[in-house]
Amino acid sequence: MKRGFSIVALLVMVSLMISGPVFSQEKKRNYLEVQIKTSAVCGMCKERIEGNIAYEKGVKKVDLDDETKIVTIGYNPRRTDPDKLRKAISKLGYDADDVEADQAAHDKLPKCCQKGNEPH
């Protein structure tokens, strides 16, 4: 009887040791972050960039600081990468680091969102 209890106790301890790291991994952030300098100008730009980039594959979170014009994007590196995210921002009509804004998309932006129309 004692031997059976010892084996059960040993099995429980081993299973806890094995499952422990699995539970701790669930608490870890499962994405990377990238910061991209944009040509965003106003609150409408913030809404447009955050709203559209949030739907890109692999994107977990998006936050544009409209004072610094830097968008911070949390993403799953298995589904996307910073270059794809820069291109997606460019397709919205905004510069993204060294990737120029798509001119046709930029020209469709409201006047207040176009480069050169920053408030003084």
Nearest one of 63, 48, 66, 62 to 119, comparing CA atoms: 66
pLDDT digit string (tens) for 16-68?
Answer: 555 444 444 444 668 999 999 999 999 999 999 999 999 999 999 999 998 99
Note the pLDDT of residue 17.
Answer: 58
DSSP state of 54: T
Residue that is written with structure tokens 């972050």 in the block: 33
Note the pLDDT of residue 115.
Answer: 86
In the CATH hierarchy, which fold is given to the domain comprising 32-113? Alpha-Beta Plaits (3.30.70)
**Mean pLDDT confidence for 6-22:** 58
Q: Which residue has the higher pLDDT, 70 or 66?
A: 70
Note the pLDDT of residue 56.
Answer: 97
Cα angle for residues 85, 87, 88 (degrees, 5° grid): 65
pLDDT digit string (tens) for 72-95?
Answer: 999 999 999 999 999 999 999 999
Nearest one of 50, 44, 41, 32 to 95, comparing CA atoms: 41
Check: CB of residue 33 under 8 Å from CB of residue 70: no
Q: Which residue has the higher pLDDT, 2 or 77?
A: 77
Cα angle for residues 72, 75, 77 (degrees, 5° grid): 135
User: pLDDT confidence of 13, banded at 50, 70, 90?
Assistant: low
